[in-house]
Amino acid sequence: MKIASWNVNSLRVRVEHVSDWLKANSPDLLCLQELKMIDDDFPVDHFRELGYHSAFTGQKTYNGVAILSKTPLTNVVTDLPNFEDPMRRYISADVTFGDQDSMRIINVYCPNGQALDSDKFTYKREWFAKLQESMRETLAQHSNTVLVGDFNITPGDIDCHDPKRWSGKIHCSDIERLMLQKLMAEGLFDTYRHFHTEGEKFSWWDYRGAGYRANEGLRIDLILSSSDMLDRAISSDIDETPRKLERPSDHTPVVAQYNQQ
């Protein structure tokens, strides 16, 4: 079973990039962030023709998340539990492949936070606290759980191209990394880092300057597996191919593969 996550930074602009990637890689699940479109505009029929069911929640101009799945999605939730928020940042569903037990997939577009002394950072902290609370309940109910998305936090210095330059700044601050650690302490594991101990591999590069060509990136897009799912994991990688296209997203897909039972 192949699960992928990709912040596409406008699905309207990059629907063909997504379609081509689906055809070339055939993931069982592809979770998208930053749709930047209302629900009525989501290309359900287009993805159905490619063999994918869709669940999504969007809004105009900002945010928006979706799950594309080769098999039907059930028990879909489109709001972060117990948190009133008009921003479309959370979606979860049950999915079953073959004869295996159902799995809970959660896709998030976590707040950026802007700066550590901003109101937006207060919102980020509150949002993460509620996500942690929600994941505690989810993991208690579903041993097969995978949480994916754009977390807007680097797990550690190894996930940043220049730790000294980014030290104490948004995405790389100690307080943000503690927020992520507390979330993972509920029973989640960084699937990519489970297979790769080396650095210099990132999932986001700034459009400004020669960010991608110089590999001045951050690894902020993660696939977090429950213990049972980590036991099934056989690989995890970052696919830079779409970042090399014309008019690319500033993010690129992250992928994990699991054995089915």
Per-residue pLDDT reduced to its tens digit, 40-69: 999 999 999 999 999 999 999 999 999 999
Active site residues: 109, 150
What's the pLDDT at 100? Answer: 66
- What is the band of 209 on the pLDDT scale with cuts at 50, 70, 90? confident
Superfamily of structural domain 2-258: Endonuclease/exonuclease/phosphatase (3.60.10.10)
Mean pLDDT of 174-203: 97
| pLDDT one-digit tens code per residue, 136-159 | 999 999 999 999 999 999 999 999
Q: pTM of the full predicted structure?
A: 0.98
Which of these, 127, 123, 126, 100, lies nearest to 113 by C-alpha position? 123
Please state the φ and ψ torsions of residue 4, each to the nearest 5 degrees: -135, 155
Q: How far apart are CA 15 and CA 10, in angstroms?
A: 8
Is residue 27's pLDDT more than 80? yes
Mean pLDDT of 110-130: 97
